[in-house]
Structure 1
Amino acid sequence: MTSNVLIVTNGYKGTWSAIEQGAWLASTLDATVTLLGVTEEENPAAIDDHHPLEEVFERAVGLFKAQGTAYSLEVQRGSAEEVIPQRAARDDSIVVLSPLGRPQIRRILARRSIRHFIEEIKQPILYVPKSVLPVGRILICVGGLGYEVNAEHLAMQIALKSRAEISLLHIVPPGDLDYPTARVIRDNWQRLEQTETPIGRSLRQALEIAKSDGLTANVIGRRGNVVEEILGETREGKYDLLCMGSSYSVHSLRQMYSPNVTSEISEAASCPVLTARYKQS
C-alpha cells in the first residue's frame, strides 16, 4: 500500500482542492504527506515579500495537524513542469495535483499542465479540479486486458478504507471489427460480466474481490465514444472519484487508455480523477 502522498501547490488558491483531497487520501490510506511548494518567481528578491505559498502552507499545516497526519514540507524553485516530475520520480508516492492557475494564452500555446504531467510522471496521479468529500461512490474504468489493474487495485484500497460503493465501467467503442470475441462483446455489451471474454473475466474477478471485502459493487456497460461515455457516466452517476488506467508505454488499447484520452477526461471530469500507469511485470 502507498505510504506517502505528494501534494503539490504553487500558491494558487485553486490548489487548495489538491491539498484538501490529498489530506483526506493520506488519512484514508494511513499514509504520510509531503507538501511540495513550487515557486516560479524569476526574481529571487520577490521571495522576500509575502508569497502565496506562506498562506497556503500555514493553512495546510493546520489541516494536517487537525486530522493527525504526519507531514513534511518542501519548497523548490523552478518551472512546475520540470520540478514536479523530478520530485515525483524520487519515490512511489501518489501525486496529487490541481489546476495551477495558468493564464489562458499559456494553456493554448503550451497545452494544459495535466497533459504534460500524465506523460512525464510514472507514479499514480490524483488530479483534483475541485475537491469532492467525502468519497462515497467510486467509478472504475475496466478495459479487459489488464492495463487498468494498478488503478483498480488502488481504487479498491481506497474503497475498502472509506467503505465507498464501487461501479465497474466498460465502454464498447464503435467499430466494424468482425471476429468472434468482438461479436460477443458487441452483442452482450450490457451483460459482459456473464461472458467468457477477457473483459468478462476481468469484470467478474473485480466483482469477486470487491464483494469478498464486503464492498457494494456493480457493473455498468455503455456503448459509444470512449471519452464521451466515461464523462457521461461520471456526470449521470454523480460519482465522487473516477479511476482509470494509463497505458502510456503500451501500444495496445491506445484508443481506450492513451495519455491524451486520460488527460481529456481529467480536464473535463466533474470529480477527482485517479490514474495509474500499466506496469509490465
Structure 2
Amino acid sequence: MFLLAVSLYFVLACLISWMVLFPSGREFVIAALAGAGARLQQGLGRLARRRRQDLGAWTQTGRASAHGLRDFFAEHYVLCLGGLALLAVPPMLALLLAGKPALNGFDAPTREINPQVAGLLEGEQLVPPPALPPLVFSTPEVQLARPMLVSASRDWALLDSAYAQRLLMAFRIMKEKYGYDMALLEGYRSPERQDTLAAMGSSVTNAAAFQSWHQYGLAADCAFLRDGRLVISERDPWAMRGYQLYGEVAESLGLTWGGRWKMMDFGHTELRQPGVMKK
C-alpha cells in the first residue's frame, strides 16, 4: 500500500513538472480538457432533445386520449349518464336512510336486554340483603364523597323488579367470586331530589328531573363494605379494583355501567328499557 502511494505521488509529480517545464504539455492538457467539455456538452444536448421529443409524444398521446373520450361520451352519452346514476344512487340512498350518529356517553342508545340473561334470572328470585345502619352512610368520609347521601332512598322495593334481580346477581357474583361485599347507596330518586342534586353542579350530576333512570327505578349507585365501613373513593386501590370488576359483572348481566361515560360514575349501573325514558 505504501509503495502504491509513493508510485502515484511520483507519477503526479512528473506530470506537474512536465506541464510546468514544457509548453507542449500544457497545450496537450488544455486540449484534452476542452475536448472532454465539448463531448459532455454534446451528450447533454442530445439528452435534452430526446426529452423534448418524449414530452411532445406524451402531449400528443394525451390530447388524442382526451379527444377519444370526448367523442365516446358524445356518441354514448345516454349510456354514460346511466352508469353514473347507478354508481351515485346507492351511496345517496344509504346516506338518506341512515340514522343520526350516536356518541358514547350518558346519552348512549338504550341497551337491548339479553334474553339469555333474562332467562337465567327468571328462575331464582334473589332477596335483598338486610338494611345497613344509618350511621354507615353518615361518616365524614362518606359525606365528603357523596353529599346528601343520608337522605337517599335505599328501598329495594322501589326498584324495577328486573333491574333489582340483575343488581342482586351482581352483588352475589362480586361476593362469591371476588370477595367484595357491596352496599346500595341510592336507588329510586324522586324528581325533586334529582333537581336538587343537579343544582349542586356537574360534579354531582348533569341530569335534571326525569332525565335520569333513577326516577324510573332502573338505576342505582353502589359501593363496597370493608370492615364494616363504606368505601366509595376511587383513590383507594382496593375500591378501584372492585369498581372495574363490578363494571365487568354488571355489563355481563345486561346493565349499563357508568364507568364508561365521559363523566365516569364507577358505582352507577342502570337498565335501559326501550320507551321508558320518553314517558
Please state which structure has a larger fraction of its residues in helix: 2
Q: Which has the higher contact order (CA 8 A, sep 6+)?
A: 1
Q: TM-score, normalised by structure 2?
A: 0.20
TM-score in terms of structure 1 length: 0.20
Q: Which has the higher strand share?
A: 1
